[in-house]
Structure 1
């Protein structure tokens, strides 16, 4: 081959190598950009799903139409689809009308037998049952109901006025008017309590069902009520028919326990002003009160061991509305929200659990007479004192969340005090969702802490010995074996931890804790004993093969601890260490706890930390350690002063990656803990992590619901936590590299 041909071949080879280098560079760059783009897509998708949680409510322009009656409405309501409205005026006329234009659909007169309506009481917005107290001492009970049909595939809503206990009124007071009335209707009994001539009167009708005909008959019973020492201007009955709330116009109240027939608590609802309105939130546990000065408060009954009755009516929250507005209230049918509209037309929309104002608007509707909110909370119906009605479309999809509801203590209904609680669902429709991230974040950090507490020392110390002291032949066997542990599915580890390790630890607690204490001392004792063995015998074990001698020592110590566990438990803990912890130390114990998670998750994290740390230590240039040894340093001094500082960026990265693995672990935590979202640092209690919570609940939640978006928010919090930790880790790693890179 001529020289020119050689040069041409070399030039072509260089050109081809340049092309390959360019292709490799482009491929690697594209791959890196794709990874970053995918991470950004995840980030923005999470934001897309969670942003609706923090949007405020909105109100569309309303439709205006005239009422069908000249008398002011005593009660306004709407059916499920918010297409048909219901109004009841003080003359006893019940009208059903279209909410878009006010067209009258049905009008009926409630049979009052010549009496006048003196009081009105609503059982609940959900049941739609209401009662009218008459001037002749009788009560008539009715219900506005709706039938839905689809003739020609078009929805048709047919309203009907029902009388669940007949059109004949029930006698409550002998010829004395019913000034104020409360009703509670359950599956077992009907309870009515009224105020007549300043006295409390009560009647109970027990429902008895015939076994054959399934016909229900009412058996009347009298109700014992205490004598009041105040003016009773408003009464309300709780849905469980235990608590009777009696209030006066000056804001005074009496909480009456109907089971004990005694006043459980008394006091005042407001610092100043008079009572303007009082009604229950969904479920009948919380009481909303509004004064004529614009003070709106939420109250519910809590336990109080210092009181003789054992209960008190607790003021939980106050909501800021315009001063002197005299707010009228309407509560949502399926959530813990309510609307407050002042007499001047100022509207505020609140959600109680999140303590959040969702909407603040001034309505040009004149002085307010009555308001209603639809069952789906998507329409608002307002009637002014002039007989004009206004219907507004309401957009309020996700009112449950606020910063305080996520991260601060919240006073939930029926709880004795504010607390951190995660409970996203329950069996009843009037449940108050509890979306506190605090116990989930605490559980995440708790699981990661105990996992790292076990994994970090073992992995780092093992990496140091394997990379620096172990014989190369043994290292070639040990390192792949430990790295192979990383391929073990975490679901298998969780399965073993939950079904084998947890019961084993519970049954052999003295043995397990004695292992943690005896193993270090046993290994040190063996090392000291080995140092006393004659050199002629020690020479038979080559340098770097000494860990093999520890295998039977560790197995022997573990076997001895398990064998001596039962005698130790009988000798020191009365035969039952778990009972001793609970009764004598007051430490609660759950079989699937943080100790089990720490051991199982530590086993999963060890290979990750070990592999990266071992590579970092083994990659330290040998001339550094050789130079240190040549200058007279011992192998240990060379390790501490030269090798470890040089490898510190890699070791730190190993720890951070291991922590990230522990924070994001799902299956082990899901299967090896009690999966209870509690905030308790006790190593014998379980926890629930953010990752496990998402895995448990995402498959059961309704798409696009508040719960669904809250789970995406939990994923976003986990994402940001990982990003934050990785950023700090990279910053520290770069500083360590700059500091020790010149060694």
Structure 2
């Protein structure tokens, strides 16, 4: 049977043969298109999943714990206890000083002795020892009241292979030694040479009694170094001494001048209590003494001519002794270890209290995880906010103070001595412990991101110098001693703030425009307006950001009064124009409908903008005392004017709702029988009366709020910054509005025409039809349009980079700046070290933004499906 059927014309004659089956090319094209679409969709899903997997892969090391890489243990040849140790950053060469003055230089990985020297302590017994943070300068206090200073450092040189001396002794597979030097081959083929720098200075008589506690700091310049040290003798007398060294650059001769100041007595120290430790700040402005009855005594040394005991504070429970104490790097955090195993971090904060002489207090900011037994030693890291704590049972824990976590719980091998001290190597990648009898135990570990935990990222943290726990993002600082602050909360808040203010401006404009062009304007106008709106969407956001930063922000700052007035003048002008149009004869209104009417709207907008610009200064002078930026700071005026403006739209809605409930039916009956122009005039009078009533209601409520003490300043209104959320909202709304408008307008136009016809046939007005029939039917599409716009606003980068000020603060103040997740990534990622902490946290910010967008789109789809089911039967 043929697949061609004859086709007949009206005259019944065969005209042509029509194929009754689908062409093979069409079938192939359909299958090919279906396959391409399917593969393309799957590739999109795979790409999205690949992005998520990649982000997780980069982020996961942040949450990974540290890894122990090795542990060594050996015994040094000393006659008495080891009282001080030091080690280089490569964990190669160590130094140990014994109580008899023997100084042993040893190979840290194996314990091999490299060299040995002897300090001449002149028969005196060491009763106290302390050193600088770098541990290369040490002060010894003796039982005869003498203080001696020593250098115990490790120097590094580079030796070319051809200059390598002969006769080297192999220590292990990596290192060799000769004449007190250790040679390590590096990747370039040269050798790193390490050797000890050991020197003991002359003694200084500080007291006639034994020194029981000492601390030591070095400052000044290379030509004029200063040495400051604090001592406590057996009679609990506290002294601070400053030695200034003048070096003759011609002869190298050193002249040392020492000044000793007796500090006020330790008032409040119990008769049976003992001083356990003393600390001196590097700037020499304070000294802290701890006691066995749980107190610390803080001295204010800013004026050495009149030092004062500024504060006496209990830092441990009654009957609990302070057994160890140290500053962390930067000396803004004081770690106090107690007899019950407690470890607490204290900040010295300017609280303005009258209980201390300087208005500052030691505040317990962090309570770290307690150890099982009494703390016997606490030693800080040189470059991070880490410290190693040792208790009386031999437990060795490495803590990170900022993130408040225990990085490692090191297990000791062999016999455990209660008299132990430790140090963290300079690169914070290992710990060396020395026990009472000269036993050394060293651990090597890797902990790449100790400063990051989920708590640091998403909870409040009490940072140094802050009065309370807070959310802070500050990945870099002016000094390496500052704490890195990696809270993502300010960035998430900034993202939400920017999107919220952008949507606040964009959604009403976009939806009202979509309803207007869909339901009210002529198709010719719609055919012009919609393509123009779609062209707006193609504008590069970098151009918009540039305009916002360099044009709009200064303009808004200069004309802030006109801008605020424009918020009210523009809708008022359009309403007046609408009532004027309504008052025109019907023939005139119909004649000039379309483009003339649309042009009149444009003229009205320009006219109201000109009026706002002309009256802006007067508006600012009347409502904000002539200085809006000064008013926002709270220096002048009250909050009544701004609350009046904020409450005015709400008051108008309340008055309108009340009028509709009480007189709505009567009013419709009254004007329903009037001629069109007369009805328009009556309606305009009603609107003016309602506006006046709303103004009175708004002013009354604003005055009442002021009377009860409420002031919006300090909350969503505060000090004015040029690049702020208002500017971001303006320009981002300009970028987002076309997207929302296009999708919403398409959704409204997709509503079946018979629904409109049925509504109009029942006597509804076009506005009632749009409000009660078209909009609910298209709700799913309209909601999707809004959510698409929100997704665009959340992910926007260049506008907020250039116009938001990029300050990661958490306040809803519309006149302050912000920093978003996307802007933060764009700003900091180019400078971030690959695989570093900041690098991975930035990728975590990207993952957070990805998840936020995913949640927004998922919720939008669920709600859209719900609206779609409700409208399906229509």
Q: Flag whether TM exceeds 0.5 (same fold).
A: yes
Give yes or no for contact 1:296–1:318 (8 Å, CA) kept in 2. yes
Other structure's SS at 1:297 match: strand
Q: Match of 1:269?
A: 315
Give yes or no for contact 2:276–2:323 (8 Å, CA) kept in 1. no
Q: Match of 1:408?
A: 459
Q: Tell me the distance in 2 between the aligned counterparts of 1:376 and 1:463.
A: 62
Asked if residue 100 in structure 1 is aligned to residue 109 in structure 2, the reply is yes
Correspondence 1:29-428 to 2 at 5 A: 29-125=38-134, 128-136=136-144, 137-152=146-161, 153-163=189-199, 167-187=200-220, 189-197=226-234, 198-206=236-244, 218-229=256-267, 230=269, 231-260=274-303, 261-271=307-317, 272-307=319-354, 308-309=356-357, 310-368=359-417, 369-428=420-479
Give yes or no for contact 1:294–1:327 (8 Å, CA) kept in 2. no
Other structure's SS at 1:688 match: coil
Q: Match of 2:617?
A: 566
Q: Deviations over 1:580-605 (max 9, x none)?
A: 22222553111111111110111111
Q: Match of 1:480?
A: 531
Correspondence 1:588-737 to 2 at 5 A: 588-737=719-868
Equivalent of 1:18, from 27, 30, 34? Answer: 27
Give yes or no for contact 2:80–2:437 (8 Å, CA) kept in 1. no
Q: Tell me the distance in 2 between the aligned counterparts of 1:14 and 1:77.
A: 88
Equivalent of 1:434, from 485, 506, 512? Answer: 485
Task: State the 1:327 CA deviation.
Answer: 4.6
Give yes or no for contact 1:367–1:385 (8 Å, CA) kept in 2. no
Q: Deviations over 1:115-151 (max 9, x none)?
A: 33221111213x6322112334232232412213143
Q: Tell me the distance in 1 between the aligned counterparts of 2:29 and 2:159.
A: 69
Q: Tell me the distance in 1 between the aligned counterparts of 2:159 and 2:231.
A: 42
Q: Match of 2:700?
A: none
Give yes or no for contact 1:122–1:182 (8 Å, CA) kept in 2. yes
Give yes or no for contact 1:345–1:365 (8 Å, CA) kept in 2. no
Q: Match of 1:27?
A: 36
Q: Deviations over 1:284-320 (max 9, x none)?
A: 2211122232111111211121224201111122222
Task: State the 1:11 CA deviation.
Answer: 8.7
- Larger Rg, first or second structure (1 or 2): 2
Asked if residue 470 in structure 1 is aligned to residue 503 in structure 2, the reply is no
Q: Tell me the distance in 2 between the aligned counterparts of 1:381 and 1:93.
A: 19
CA shift in 2, pair 1:211/1:702, >3 Å: same
Other structure's SS at 2:822 match: helix
Q: Tell me the distance in 2 between the aligned counterparts of 1:664 and 1:212.
A: 65
Give yes or no for contact 1:106–1:159 (8 Å, CA) kept in 2. no
Q: Tell me the distance in 1 between the aligned counterparts of 2:158 and 2:548.
A: 55
Cα RMSD, aligned residues only: 2.4
Q: Tell me the distance in 2 between the aligned counterparts of 1:640 and 1:139.
A: 90
Other structure's SS at 1:28 match: helix
Q: Deviations over 1:155-201 (max 9, x none)?
A: 333222244xxx43242415443221111111253211111232112
Deviates more, 1:449-458 or 1:360-369: 360-369
Q: Tell me the distance in 2 between the aligned counterparts of 1:389 and 1:13.
A: 89
Q: Tell me the distance in 1 between the aligned counterparts of 2:42 and 2:377.
A: 58
Runs ≥4 residues deviating over 6 A: 4-9, 209-216
How many residue pairs end up in the alignment? 738
Q: Tell me the distance in 2 between the aligned counterparts of 1:300 and 1:541.
A: 75
Give yes or no for contact 1:354–1:400 (8 Å, CA) kept in 2. yes
Give the TM-score taking structure 1 as reference length.
Answer: 0.94
Other structure's SS at 1:670 match: helix
Gaps of 5+ in 1: none
Q: Tell me the distance in 2 between the aligned counterparts of 1:347 and 1:560.
A: 75
CA shift in 2, pair 1:3/1:349, >3 Å: same
Task: State the 1:458 CA deviation.
Answer: 0.2
CA shift in 2, pair 1:209/1:731, >3 Å: farther
Q: Deviations over 1:661-706 (max 9, x none)?
A: 1111111111112211111111111111111111111111111111
Gaps of 5+ in 2: 7-16, 162-188, 639-712
Q: Deviations over 1:624-676 (max 9, x none)?
A: 21222223322222212221112111110111011111111111111112211
Q: Deviations over 1:438-482 (max 9, x none)?
A: 211111111111000000000010011111211111111111111
CA shift in 2, pair 1:246/1:325, >3 Å: closer
CA shift in 2, pair 1:214/1:496, >3 Å: farther
Give yes or no for contact 1:610–1:654 (8 Å, CA) kept in 2. yes
Q: Tell me the distance in 1 between the aligned counterparts of 2:206 and 2:85.
A: 27
Q: Tell me the distance in 1 between the aligned counterparts of 2:151 and 2:18.
A: 101
Q: Tell me the distance in 2 between the aligned counterparts of 1:218 and 1:537.
A: 102
Give yes or no for contact 1:119–1:132 (8 Å, CA) kept in 2. yes
Q: Tell me the distance in 2 between the aligned counterparts of 1:4 and 1:717.
A: 61
Q: Tell me the distance in 2 between the aligned counterparts of 1:597 and 1:284.
A: 40
Q: Tell me the distance in 2 between the aligned counterparts of 1:641 and 1:572.
A: 40
Q: Tell me the distance in 2 between the aligned counterparts of 1:723 and 1:4.
A: 52
Asked if residue 446 in structure 1 is aligned to residue 497 in structure 2, the reply is yes
Q: Match of 2:647?
A: none
Q: Deviations over 1:498-557 (max 9, x none)?
A: 111111111111100000011111111111112112234323212576332110111011
CA shift in 2, pair 1:524/1:4, >3 Å: closer
Other structure's SS at 2:330 match: coil
Q: Match of 2:555?
A: 504
CA shift in 2, pair 1:106/1:284, >3 Å: farther
CA shift in 2, pair 1:387/1:178, >3 Å: closer
Give yes or no for contact 1:469–1:544 (8 Å, CA) kept in 2. no
Other structure's SS at 2:830 match: coil
Give yes or no for contact 2:525–2:594 (8 Å, CA) kept in 1. no
Q: Tell me the distance in 1 between the aligned counterparts of 2:256 and 2:296.
A: 32
Q: Tell me the distance in 2 between the aligned counterparts of 1:213 and 1:576.
A: 66
Q: Tell me the distance in 1 between the aligned counterparts of 2:201 and 2:847.
A: 60
Give the TM-score taking structure 2 as reference length.
Answer: 0.81
Task: State the 1:5 CA deviation.
Answer: 7.8
